[in-house]
Amino acid sequence: MSSLPRGLPPVLSGAGPEPVDMAKADLLAQDAPAISLEIAADMALELYGVSGEIRPLSAERDANFHIRLDTGEEALLRITNAVEDRAVTDMQTAVLMHLAAVDPSLPVQRIHASLAGRSSEIMNGPDGQTHVVRLMTFLRGTVLSSATPGPGLHIELGTLQARLNRALRGFFHPAAGHYLQWDIKQAHRLRPMLDAVADTDLRHRLTRLLDRFDAEIAPRLPHLRAQVVHNDFNPHNLLVDAPQATCLTGIIDFGDMVHTPIACDLAVACSYQIAEGADPMCRIAEMVAAFNAMLPLEDEELELLPDLIRLRHATTLSIGAWRAQRYPGNAEYILRNGAASLRGLNALEQLGNEAAIKALHAAVRAPLSE
């Protein structure tokens, strides 16, 4: 009997797996898979021939495990929620393989081949449900949400996001049009969740914002450039070099990918970078200027951006309240972005759309700082 390989299996690039049809389900209403360390270790050994020190990682929908092999190599074992549309899972796998082919230096995870040579495998969990299992490279770094951004980091953030969008321009997958509540263009579907927002004043503000979306924003979205985007360029999904961050080292978690306007993807990133103090747009202005330098923005995209940022805050606050009410045991994780979203929403409302749009136009016209 031959011995199992000691190192990680090869990574895959190029064309992704064929999508598989599966009935759609509402992932927001599902718990993450209940996979123990022992079961995860068995899956890693049986499917990929790897073993070593294993520990769980926090996640909202999937079961993720960090593996450190005896060789010192590291990997991420991802066991997908059983109710996730299988075609959507295949899309997330395919995009990482696409990026490995078209822009190999992008700091994203790679897909390791299974012992059978496949990009993913199917396994039964302890409850009898089937899960997609993938082994990915593990990106080291400090999560940006736990770091202090240094000078120029927001310029790099805008540049990297634009670069990722450029790399995704040629990517297509039949599952890209799936329904995702975190997609800003789906904001009208938040209304049933507003009852979970305990603060009456905030609930009324969110209702008015959704009224504006229905009347003025949604009709304009079909006229914007759209493609498959990451859709969750937030500080929890970005890695930097150190707690005092000088550069970005990784983009993780493509779980919210969807086909939507580029401006919506940029709005997601900007929503987490509203500054405190008298100039809440200063960091966003740097990001947008850098994004625009690599991927020029159209006037209508700039003019809609402040509204789209506010709608991202509304999405975070509504979904957070709704999910925390249903899963109180995981409320701390679910609500981790709530306070920042409320602060951002307050800042933009106090500034006003006209001033925010003026700041964005000035940013893209100004020379980009080194």
Other CB atoms within a 10 A radius of the CB of residue 293 amount to: 15
> Residue 15 has what pLDDT?
55
Residue-wise pLDDT for 249-269, tens only, equals 999 999 899 999 999 999 999
In whole angstroms, give the CA distance from residue 233 to residue 236: 8
Residue 336 pLDDT: 83
Q: How far apart are CA 204 and CA 264, in angstroms?
A: 23
C-alpha closest to that of 92 among 252, 237, 234 = 252
How far is the C-alpha of 262 from the C-alpha of 72, rounded, in Å?
A: 39
Encoded tokens for 56? 């769980």
Over its length of 370 residues, how does the chain's per-residue pLDDT go in tens digits?
445 556 888 888 765 544 333 233 344 456 678 899 999 999 999 999 999 999 999 776 789 999 999 999 999 999 999 888 899 999 999 999 999 999 999 999 999 999 999 999 999 988 888 999 999 999 999 999 999 999 999 999 999 999 999 999 999 999 999 999 999 999 999 999 999 999 999 999 999 999 999 999 999 999 999 999 999 999 999 999 999 999 999 999 998 999 999 999 999 999 999 999 999 999 999 999 999 999 999 999 999 999 999 999 999 999 999 999 988 888 888 888 899 999 999 999 999 999 999 999 999 998 876 5
> What is the full DSSP assignment across 211-228?
HHIIIIIGGGGGGS-EEE
Token output for 25? 């389900």
Cα–Cα distance, 47 to 351 (Å, whole number): 54
Q: For residue 5, what pLDDT is reported? A: 56
pLDDT at 7 (0 to 100): 84
Instruction: Report pLDDT for 10.
Output: 86
Do residues 138 and 66 lie in contact, with contact meaning Cβ atoms separated by under 8 Å? yes
Q: Rounded to an integer, what distance in angstroms lies between the CA atom of residue 162 and that of residue 179?
A: 24
User: What is the reported pLDDT for 19?
Assistant: 38
Q: Is the dihedral of CA 108, 114, 116, 120 positive or negative?
A: negative
- Check: CB of residue 301 under 8 Å from CB of residue 309: no
Residue 279 CA: distances (Å) to CA of 87, 272, 285, 350, 356: 43, 15, 10, 11, 10
Give me the pLDDT at residue 370, please.
52
Cβ atoms < 10 Å from Cβ of 343: 14
Kindly report the pTM of this predicted structure.
0.88
Cα(164)–Cα(153) distance, integer angstroms: 16
pLDDT value of residue 1? 43
What gap in Å lies between CA 346 and CA 351, rounded to an integer?
9
**Phi, psi for 49 (deg, rounded to 5):** 70, 25
Beta strand pairing status for 148-149 and 244-245?
parallel
